[in-house]
Structure 1
């Protein structure tokens, strides 16, 4: 697609709906809450809102256990509420991306109820059933991503069903054409309601080894890692046949014009690139989580960016992510000062950035008391929970930070009275203002939205510098990952204007020859 397509030029903003805005006083966010805050998203300057699952669900994994792919859970509202959200978003020129969870359903989905009724059920093959191993026990050594075995015995039928995650999340059998057809119909249901695209959950899991071979042991496994890392998942995930499945989804979307398919993929870079598919028939954007997994050093990040750019298939469009509902927040990982550098990096690299709600406020690690733990993974494997990155959005200094009139489902941060939208939106030095200015620059300068990329080698190990360029416009980004100041040479005779700094008070200054860079400061320079 040309670089004018919206998902190439735009910024995606992820909303975890339980935690964005509650309008009915139950302590849990809802669809009307998202609609109520669309003006904020438009003011901030993002282009699309990605909404984590809102389908009917028993909430064993907070909506990632789907009981109906064509409905809305009453906890979040109604289909009418969803339609209003889409209409109001489009009225503000915001796109809507919906989470799609095709790898597994809820154990309470009617499909699974039918499937487990008997071995002769017409839907038996909609899920993955296997006889016990010859000596009894699970069919193979595959493990659940949430701890423990990935197989659960159904005593009534004498077979095990497979679940890559919770036992309440049985995996669908994507080798069955009827499953593919039903899922394609679910995509069309939402596309017909105006959805602009999908983020597809654990897309690399959709196909499994046809022979169900044991996964090999991981020689690098250590006790501090989640149990899933005990074996290399070479047979339970990332199978070559999955590209055909993704191409089928892309074909459905193609009938609806400029819609986007984003795949969640936690894989090494060389495998990530494969998910663009032959001739770009795979995901439009295989989610690139490399910034989350790379050490926060200038040299490591520079090498990552160069390798990622070099590895892209011809015509493949890059994307970048700093955080999401499954990963510790960026400010918790690198600290508040470096989180400002991270924001400048995310919003100036080539490709589509995804911003996680609350990161624009600099939300960090929010401690969760044991009695308030909600994440099933934390209960299964303590120390790996995801509750701290799912705490409520903080809107003002009032009760419950303006999120709800009731006690929120997860705690607020201790500094909620000062770390909130109202307190930060008119403060020139705030993290929120920094994000809004960066998003404004992306809209103002095509070089940042769709321009080219090149590294600027400086020989300074704590500095990462690069340029973005388009139609004669050149912007240079200089990021200090260290805690010491530096004088940065400007390697040609050009004069430069400081468009913005991650610190306050330097915008508009003209520099040439060299520019001073404070500790943990980032600069965006425009060549005169």
Structure 2
């Protein structure tokens, strides 16, 4: 009798365990396929170090300034910082021209400052992602100095050279050069060197295995220090056909087709993964995502063993000086989400150091719409599937700077050389300046607005770029004290995202596709469902959704009230709400 009872108990226990482990088909399809990673769940905060906090009065932000503000960064609810280049550099392109990859630019401090900053970030559970600029170096890097010294120098093949006796090299377009030509003649060895960006940024020759090993060693240097990730600047341009065939006339109008993800790039990334990424728990993201969705998958799908996530520009290319259609916005982000719904991973962002301020480009930076606009855009970024990248100052709703009016007001090499090139080619200069005032990178680089004191608490000296006059009202101190501020709304959004996996891994479905004012979508994971409603217009917008009545009160709302009755709702100008299904 005892044996039978014991057997029954064992069988009952096994049945109970099996019952607990059994999942519904939905749970099996979603929960088991999430492939959770810390970098998928990260909320990345991008810091432009020149503009964040200055501690020595020279008008330029520094590492000690970042250290001083880490408690603020932590308070935002972000979990990682992406730091723009801080390496030694002559600063032709604000640090994207590196002269020493293992040293810190004197403007920013010392390696000791860096070590302290990294330790303090980790003490606050903040990870650090470094910018790695290895499509090109500075022309003041020792490699290039050696390379240009003689044709038989061991470093000659670290860069791309074309001997003058072969005639002028086939034309290549330069993104930053006033002349527009990416070949620069160098008298010392009677040859031309290649620079896709400025003349002071010669392109590295990735066909040379010595170059590749140099780069991997540099990355290991920083990974051994404890850096948590790498963003590969302009790396989709690194592979080149070194026979330099002639391109069709006018190719520069669609240069990405000829420059991005050329043959050999995947081999370089696989090798980089084997040498570096696979040996450290680091995330990897390359600037750009190729020319097609298929190419983006080839870069980031896990079984490819290349990089972790795509950072596509389609979204930031939408805004125009004369406005844009919301339909384009919806279509773009829905296309990317659909393409990566089952495989691979993407980044979600609306601004960075290469863009003007997002509220001035995508929404409305004038009163009374600036605050709700900024909240609405932050709601979007932090409620989409993919890793969100939030640019410093956007958590305040910082705007384009009206002080940047004439070409003399701009510091960006792209703006200055672009102006010279437009003049040379006889373009409409009024139109050029109109576009520059709207979209210049300098707008996104003006100093952080900490308080309403002189220079917004950024520096005791003269800021390297002029502060936006609205800093007296749009600043951290004022917004921390205002429960309804853009800043406090941002903190609510990061908390909501971190506490609800549905906003990280959940399925995305576009609803109300044809609505001209409202971007509406749902996020669903297992039994959790959320609906996001965003009014992208400056007028009220009515929306009707069949199952709206099954959703409860807003979890997020950038206004004090939300008008919902049954299956219909009315959104105020730039209103953003997130609802959870009952």
Task: Output the TM-score relative to the length of structure 2.
Answer: 0.84
Shift of 1:400: 0.9
SS at structure 2 position matched to 1:487: strand
State the alpha-carbon separation in 1 of the partners of residues 185 and 408 from structure 2.
Answer: 31
Q: Displacement, 1:278?
A: 8.0
| 1:427 partnered with 2:482 | yes
Structure 1 CA distance for aligned equivalents of residues 224 and 576 of structure 2:
44
CA 1:302–1:155 in 2, change beyond 3 Å: closer, same or farther?
same
Residue 318 of structure 1 corresponds to: 346
**Offset from partner CA, 1:225-253 (integer Å, 9 cap, x none):** xxxx4463544443031111122222233
Q: SS state of the match for residue 315, structure 2?
A: helix
Do residues 340 (structure 1) and 375 (structure 2) align?
yes
Among 369, 374, 377, which residue is 2:411 paired with? Answer: 374
Residue 388 (structure 1) aligned to one of 438, 443, 452:
443
Cα-to-partner distance string for 1:175-228 (whole Å, 9 max, x where unaligned): 000000000000000000010001110011101113201222348xxxxxxxxx
Query: Which of 157-166 and 326-335 deviates more?
Result: 326-335
Cα displacement string for residues 50-104 of structure 1 (whole angstroms, at most 9, x for unaligned residues): 0000001111111111011111111111111111111100110000000000011
Cα distance between partner residues in 2 of 1:387 and 1:460 = 34
Alpha-carbon RMSD across the aligned residues, in angstroms, is 2.2
Q: Once the 2 structures are TM-superposed, how far is the Cα of residue 406 of structure 1 from its aligned partner?
A: 0.5
Corresponding residue of 1:364: 399
* In structure 1, distance between residues paired with 2:561 and 2:62: 39
Q: Once structures 1 and 2 are overlaid, which stretch shifts more, 395-404 or 422-431?
A: 422-431
For residues 266 and 301 of structure 2, the distance between their equivalents in structure 1, rounded to whole angstroms, comes to 6
Give the stretch that moved more between structures: 510-519 or 50-59. 510-519
- Decide which structure has the larger Cα Rg and report it: 2
* 1:399 to partner: Cα distance: 1.4
Per-residue Cα deviation, 1:370-397 (whole angstroms, up to 9, x for no partner): 4443212222112455222211001011
Aligned counterparts of 1:5 and 1:266: Cα–Cα separation in 2: 20
* Change in 2 beyond 3 A, CA 1:280/1:428: farther
Once the two structures are superposed, the pairs formed by residues 63-212 of structure 1 within 5 Å of their partners are 63-132=95-164, 134=166, 136-137=167-168, 139-147=169-177, 148-212=180-244
| Greater displacement, 412-421 / 241-250 | 241-250
Residue of structure 1 in register with 2:576 after alignment: 522
Unaligned runs of 5+ in 1: 220-228
Kept in 1: contact 2:261–2:291 (CA 8 A): no
TM-score by length of 1: 0.92
CA distance in 2, matches of 1:56, 1:301: 39
CA distance in 2 between counterparts of 1:430 and 1:55 reads 35
Change (3 A) 1:372 1:463: closer
Cα 1:14/1:416, change in 2 over 3 Å = same
- Name the residue aligned to 1:223: none
Indicate which of 497, 502, 505 corresponds to 1:450: 505
Q: In structure 1, the residue corresponding to 2:100 is in which secondary structure? A: coil
2:465 aligns with one of 402, 410, 422: 410
| Aligned equivalents of 2:480, 2:493: Cα separation in 1 | 14
The 8 Å contact of residues 495 and 510 in structure 1, kept in 2 or not, is answered as no
Displacement of 1:422 in angstroms is 0.4
Distance 2:117 2:233 in 1: 22
Summarize deviations over 1:392-438 as a string: whole Å, max 9, x none: 00101111101011111000001111111001122133221221111
Structure 2 counterpart of 1:352, from 387, 406, 412: 387
The partner residue of 2:263 within 237, 240, 246 is 240
Distance in structure 2 (CA, Å) of the matches to 1:244 and 1:2: 28
Instruction: Determine which of 332, 337, 341 is the counterpart of 1:304.
Output: 332
Moved more, 434-443 or 255-264: 255-264
Conserved? CA contact 2:310–2:345, under 8 Å? no
Distance 2:119 2:277 in 1: 22
CA distance in 1, matches of 2:255, 2:521: 36
Q: What secondary structure sits across from 2:337 in the alignment?
A: helix
CA distance in 1 between partners of 2:499 and 2:68 (Å): 27
Q: Quick one: distance in 2 between partners of 1:238 and 1:255?
A: 22
Moved more, 242-251 or 200-209: 242-251
> CA–CA distance in 1 between the matches of 2:214 and 2:340?
32
> How far apart, in 2, do the equivalents of 1:370 and 1:456 lie?
44
Instruction: Check conservation: 1:275, 1:283, Cα contact below 8 A.
Output: yes
Change (3 A) 1:168 1:8: same
Cα pair distance change 1:476/1:111, threshold 3 Å: same
Greater alpha carbon shift after TM alignment, 270-279 vs 433-442: 270-279
* Structure 2 unaligned regions, length at least 5: 1-32, 420-432
Aligned twin of 2:456: 401
- Classify 1:218/1:276 alpha carbon distance in 2 versus 1 (closer, same or farther; 3 Å): farther
Farther-moved stretch of structure 1 (264-273 vs 393-402): 264-273
Kindly report structure 1 stretches of 4+ aligned residues shifted beyond 6 Å. none
Question: Which structure shows the bigger proportion of residues in helix conformation?
Answer: 2
SS at match of 1:291: coil
